[in-house]
Every structure is written in C-alpha cells, then in structure tokens.
Amino acid sequence: MTRLSALAHWPQFEQEAHHMHDVHLRDLHQQEPNRFDQWHLQFDQLLLDLSKQRMRAETRKALLQLAREAKLPEAIEALFTGQPVNRSEQRPALHTALRQPSDTSLEVDGEDIIPAIHQTLDHMESLVNTVRSGQWRGVTGHPITDVVNLGVGGSDLGPLMACHALRDFAVQPPRVHFVSTMDGSQLVDRLAWLNPSTTLFIFSSKSFTTADTLANAETARRWLSQHLGDEGLIMKRHFIGVSASPDKMTAWGIPEAHQLCFWEWVGGRYSLWSAIGLPIALKIGMAGFRELLAGAHALDQHFRQTPLEENLPVMLALTGVWNINGLNINAHAVLPYDGRMKYLPAYLEQLEMESNGKCTTQDDEGVDYDTCPVLWGELGPNAQHAFYQLLHQGTQAVNCDFIAPARRYEDVKSPDQRQQLTRQHRMTLANCFAQSRLLMLGDSALDPTVLDSAPRYRLYRGNQPSTTLLLEQLTPYSLGQLLALYEHKVFVQATLWDINPFDQWGVEMGKKIAIATEEALVEQRHTMAEFDSSTQGLMSHCLHQQEASNRSDLES
Ligand SMILES: O=P(O)(O)OC[C@H]1O[C@](O)(CO)[C@@H](O)[C@@H]1O
C-alpha cells in the first residue's frame, strides 16, 4: 500500500487543486450550462448529483488516476472476497456477505459462510414471528407489547436510524424502543411507563462487554425481578441476546434458544445487516428486513461491477477526497430533507468518523494529509433555522450532503390530507434545492436587485460545495441502497488514504481508564497522585456534593 501523497499522480492532483483554488462554482456553471448532465449518476433508486461540487473534467480525471494507482479495483475485490482487509485485527470485513442471497456462496478459510448467515436470518424470523403473533409470553402469560433494545454505538445507531426512517412500514405490535445512554436516563424514562409483564429486552452487544449496555441490562433485570420475581423465568421470557460472543451471553443467563449470533468479521458500525438488525425486523417485519438487505445487495453489485467513473460510491468518495485533500474543506454536513431520516446524521457520524478518523497508514506510518472530515448533521429544514447561518456566511467552508426522497405521501388515504401533505413535501424539496443553489451561486447571481454597494453583512458569497442525493421514495429497499452507498464511500476513501476503516483502537484507552476512575470514585481515592490536578479537582467537587446531599438526607 502507498500513502496518497506518495502516489505518482499526486503532483498532478496538487496542480489541479492549485488551479481550482480560486474558481467559483458560479463560473463553472456559466462555462458548462449542462453541468447536471455531466455530473449526475443514477443507479436503481438513487440519483447522485455532483454538479454543485467545485470540480471540472480535469479534476475527475486526476481523482480517477489516483484511485487506479491506489489499486482501488483490487481493494474492492479483496473486500468482497473475504481477504483480511482489516489488517490490524487480521480479519476480513464481510458486512457485504450478510446481504448475499442464499443461493450464492463465499468461502472464507475453506468454509462457505453464506449458509450460516441464512440460518441466523431464519432464526431471527422465527423469533420475530413468535413475538409479533403474540405467542411469545412473559412470565405472567401475557403477550409482548414492547421491545427495548439495549445497545450503544453500532448496536444502537443503525437499528434506531432504520426503525425511525421506516416507521411508515411498521407492523405493530410490538412497539420498539431504544436505550443507549450509560447514565440510565433513557431507561428510567421508559421503565416509568412500561409494563414489566409485557416487555422484552434485547441485549445487543457484539462484544457483550460494553459497560454502558451491561449497566442498562442489569438495571432492566433488577426492574423485572422486582416486579415479577422469578429470576430464572425472567431470563427465559424477557431477554434476547445478540452478540458475537455466545459464551458471554450464556454466562449472563440468556438461554441458547434466545441467542442470535453473528461473527467477529462484522464490524459494529457495519452490523445492522446482521442479527443486530432484530429491532428493525420486529418493527417492519422480516419481509421488510429482507428488502433492506436486497437493496444493499443491489448496491454492492453496482459497486463491485461498475467502472469507477460511473460508480456511485466511488464518485461520492472521490468527491470527498477532493474537498478534503484538494480544497482543504474539512467540515462535512449531512442534511436530510425528510423527518424520517432524523437519526441518519448520527449513524453516519459513527460510520465515517469511527472508520476513517485515523492518522496512521496500513503500514503504521503517519499520514501527511488530512483524512476524515468533521461530520455532523441535522434535518435540513430544522438546521435552516439553526446553523445554516454558518454555511452561508461563516468563515468555514463546509461540504454538504442534501438527501431527500423525490416522491412521498402517495398512499395517504384521505384525498384532502394527501393534497396537503404533498404540498408540504413539495415545500421541503423546494427548500432543499433553494439552499444548495444559494450555497453554490451566492446571492448576486440569483437576485439582480442585490447591489454591489449592499453592506457586506447582507452578502452571500456562495461557492460552498454540495452533493444532492435523491431517493425515488424512502422504502426498506432504497434505504438499504443509501446505507450501502455510504459504507462503500467510506471504504473507497480509506483505500485512497491508505488507512484501515475497520478497527477503532482510538476508543479503547478511554474505556480502560474509566474503570480505574470509577474504582477511585468508589474508594474516594480522589486525591491520589495517579490523577492530574484537573481530574482530582473535578472528582473532589462531585464527592463533596454527594457528601453534602447525604448529610441533608440524614438531617431531614
Ligand atoms: O456492540 P458492542 O460490542 O457493545 O460495541 C458497541 C460500540 O462500541 C464500540 O466498540 C466503540 O466503543 C463501537 O465500535 C461499537 O459499535
């Protein structure tokens, strides 16, 4: 593997970046009036418009040269065929296998892994059907009405995002809830109104060692046993475990029949396609979940088989590389124009920043270029009333992804409501297109009444690059395509940057020292020299507050 800056075509790329540095998007559009035709790509349910990016034909050529030189086609093949692409952990990253149809095969270490994947899907289906048909009974004999997913990071964000995005496809019962926060606040809120007799918990953790989830699961177990007694029966009737570590699930008390397993070669943030997707299947039914897998698989095929210049994930990724390494734009906003995609930004924050927030190459050398941008987002229409001020007039350049479904509300029964909601959808699309246009062109190109003499605080300079992604409609199938698109985008960028997108060593040390810190808090060792003065001060402050509160409890 070679660092991006050591590739033979890097100087050409830098030259191109130098040339484009002062070029305004307004001029690009004037010079190339049919830019949309030249810069949009379409596959199945997705349309990717790159015409509002600060790129010209030479830019695309320079990027593609880098991609070929970085051996991107070979890397894609290595990903799909189960090579150990996760080098620091010496294992493959086979989330794509999770969506392969049952009549295909994929050998890893001499074994076809596809049958086991489909056996797990079948197991999932039988659990989903048992719960949804009311045959799964709690210890008091009542059917399950509510399922609570206890998980964090990849064991929460993907299912949470998908359940919210696909809520139009929900087939109740049961209601599905998500609890992730370590401090217990989400769980306490839920437990206040849930009925223990009819509540089922999914203990969802790849490692089954994550402190946040273990703490929430323990609180849930105690709540159940307080109300329902019999610990043994509770474990049988009120918990399902999802993990890559069956031994740990058994040790925690979850019976084998209620364990759904997946594999070490599925990264946490790539795991919603595995049994981690159980909440999605409970929410939209197993047929819907299989649609999600089918959409992702179709995108996988496109990614694997399509020439680089027509390949949606490749071109989306190269556009990112251009913004970061060519134009030095290191902020990236994700702006869905559809309330159902509320949790997409949070999901992509983990997918992109946990994958590519790295500064060492695959050969463990330092990189001398920027990698993953700071990525954040919010529903576009709401963000218009919050942080778009910075997009339009701040000092930072930001690369934006505008995401929206082209069609919506077609199946609303009442004609009057359909008409009104269709209008709201049209308004939303209009805002989406208006914002990206203004960001691109600035105000003077759009409004002839804007005078050069206007005060500077009123001016919109434009030249902010953006990508627009349109889905035909938001369905399980199209969502599968959208998510696979971003997963592969991340992989392509990692390949160019020569970093490993499948490990996350940067999160380990924090977990380790939190354990020692908690021990010190319990033992009140807050003045020990092992802690720096800042941490000692904060610990002392909290302990004093607690002591004061204990004293006032005793006095009252
Ligand atoms: O599924 P687990 O093992 O509980 O991990 C949850 C999350 O924690 C992380 O390991 C980060 O701490 C993520 O990569 C992962 O998605």
**Which pLDDT tens digit goes with each residue over 113-134?**
999 999 999 999 999 999 999 9
Q: What is the pLDDT of residue 36?
A: 98
CA of 512 to the centre of ligand 1 (A): 14
**Active-site annotation holds for 511:** yes
Compute the distance between CA of residue 194 and CA of residue 200 in angstroms, rounded to an integer. 10
Q: How far is 279 from 183, CA to CA, in rounded Å?
A: 22
Whole-angstrom CA distances from 103 to 79, 93, 126, 286, 481 are 20, 21, 21, 19, 21
Residue pLDDT, tens place only, 220-265: 999 999 999 988 899 999 999 999 999 999 999 999 999 999 999 9
Residue 445's pLDDT is: 76
**What integer pLDDT is reported at residue 334 of this predicted model?**
98
User: What are residue 320's phi and psi, to 5 degrees?
Assistant: -65, -45
* Active site (annotated) includes residue 332: no
Beta bridge partners of 401: 334, 467
Q: What is the pLDDT of residue 552?
A: 81
Measured from the Cβ of residue 186, the count of other Cβ atoms closer than 10 Å reads 17
Architecture (CATH level 2) of domain 96-288: 3-Layer(aba) Sandwich (3.40)
Per the listing, tokens 């759009």 go with 446
Answering whether pTM is above 0.95, one says yes
Q: How far is the CA of 160 from the centre of ligand 1 (A)?
A: 15
* Those residues with Cβ within 8 angstroms of residue 320's Cβ, 6 or more apart along the chain or in another chain: 332, 373, 399, 489, 493
Please name the residue whose Cα sits nearest to atom 14 of ligand 1.
Answer: 268
- DSSP tag of 143: B
The catalytic position among 111, 385, 512, 523 is: 385
Residues 437, 174: Cα–Cα separation, whole Å: 43
Give residues (CB < 6 A) around ligand 1.
152-155, 205-207, 210, 213, 268-269, 354, 504, 507
DSSP state letters, 384-408: HTTTHHHHHHSSS--EEEEEEES--
Mean of the per-residue pLDDT values of the chain = 96
| Structure confidence at residue 230 (pLDDT) | 83
| Active-site residue identified among 291, 349, 354, 487 | 354
Active site residue 410: no
Least Cα distance to 380 among 330, 439, 426, 334 occurs for 334
**CATH of segment(s) 4-70+307-503:** 3.40.50.10490
- Ligand 1 centre from 210 Cα, in Å? 7
In the predicted model, residues of the chain with pLDDT beneath 50 are none
Q: What is the ipTM of this complex?
A: 0.99
Provide the pLDDT for residue 458. Answer: 87
Which tens digits make up the pLDDT trace of 414-437? 999 999 999 999 999 999 999 999
Give the three-class secondary structure for 178: strand
How high is the pLDDT of residue 529? 79
Q: How many helices (H) and strands (E) does the chain have?
A: 21, 13
